[in-house]
Structure 1
């Protein structure tokens, strides 16, 4: 496995941390049986979207369409 730093100047600690993450992900992918899918990322998990409560239709439902931060 070859990793090339294209931009920036990482410290040895930052480079070691990045390499540890890449190697851990590669180890998980190699341990899976052929044809199996790996663990899903939280952002791509459809259950994350389905768990949100959507506003129910009604006379004042337009007031619940804006979620302030």
Structure 2
């Protein structure tokens, strides 16, 4: 593909500039996925999530309130 060759060719119809921009944006976003790492989870947010396993035992009630 040369620099003179267009990336898209309209086969049928006459799209507006906005429609072409939406198409280019959709194709670009699919071909270049976001590579940013996910945001870190705060301790406050993590404390609201269910714990994987709470063990029963002598100090289970006290340990259930402590951060993991």
Alignment TM class, shorter chain as reference: 0.3 to 0.5
Work out which structure has the larger RCO, using CA pairs closer than 8 Å and 6 or more positions apart in sequence.
Answer: 2
| TM-score, normalization by structure 2 | 0.38
Q: Which has the larger radius of gyration?
A: 2
